[in-house]
Chains A and B, each alone.
Chain A
Amino acid sequence: AQSVTQPDIHITVSEGASLELRCNYSYGATPYLFWYVQSPGQGLQLLLKYFSGDTLVQGIKGFEAEFKRSQSSFNLRKPSVHWSDAAEYFCAVGAGQAGTALIFGKGTTLSVSS
């Protein structure tokens, strides 16, 4: 069965430091992969997505992610974190009929310290 694992429940990073959030997936075929962010009281916003092609994808707000098939990973990175990046981050894989349903990881809460 398809699944997504985000090993880190909570991460604290200093403002200006780099960030990497881990995501591992289990899927039988080439996956559609996504990262979403959810700020307190806000809906889910898509940061970036991977369908095929270049394994390093750029997203909004300065985020990027790298698809590594050999490691079944799709880690999210940002070179310099801002206080406004504090939020919950979800990795997801497209599954179901033609990849329509999204299967989400449990999420990683990011705190940013000054």
Chain B
Amino acid sequence: GAGVSQSPSNKVTEKGKDVELRCDPISGHTALYWYRQSLGQGLEFLIYFQGNSAPDKSGLPSDRFSAERTGGSVSTLTIQRTQQEDSAVYLCASSLVSGGRGEQFFGPGTRLTVL
């Protein structure tokens, strides 16, 4: 595809439900990142994948958050037992080169609203 795609674009859920957010990176990009953008906290790093492994999960805010990547491509971010403070825009990015020199290309995001 031309760029990073994310689905759904919008998700409204009730407190306590589980949600799955999907990211399709640019074809051939080995590195994949999840970020969260909220009014109060700005843009926060969540997790980084190199291939299918996640060497840096330091940004995941709690054990309710998990992510996986299969086939070195699609990634899913799962939030269990959602809370209102999870409401945010979840951004995915991918890069061809891992490490700091790899330009990260961002998707349009998934806006999550927890009622």
Co-complex (A, B) = yes
- Cβ contact within 8 Å between A101 and B108: no
- Cβ contact within 8 Å between B98 and A104: no
A97, A101, A103 — which one has the most chain B CB atoms within 10 A of its CB? A101
- List B contacts of A97 (CB < 8 A): 48, 55-56
- Cβ contact within 8 Å between B108 and A100: no
- Interface size class on chain B is 20 to 34
- Cβ contact within 8 Å between A96 and B108: no
Contact with A along B67-108 (1 / 0, CB 8 A): 000000000000000000000000101000011111111111
* Given A100-B31, A102-B45: A94 touches B107 (CB 8 Å cut-off): no
- Pick the residue among A42, A44, A45, A98 that contacts B100 (CB under 8 A): A98
- Interface size class on chain A is 20 to 34
Contact with A along B58-71 (1 / 0, CB 8 A): 11000000000000
- Cβ contact within 8 Å between B98 and A100: yes
Bound form: Cα–Cα A101–B43 in Å? 11
- Cβ contact within 8 Å between B45 and A105: no
With A43-B4, A46-B103, A101-B45 already in contact, 17 other A-B pairs whose C-beta atoms are closer than 8 Å? A32-B100, A32-B101, A36-B106, A41-B108, A43-B108, A44-B91, A51-B100, A92-B43, A96-B45, A96-B58, A97-B48, A98-B99, A99-B100, A102-B33, A102-B104, A104-B42, A106-B42
Q: Could you tell me which B residues sit within 8 Å of A by CB distance?
A: 4, 31, 33, 35, 42-45, 48, 55-56, 58-59, 91, 93, 98-109
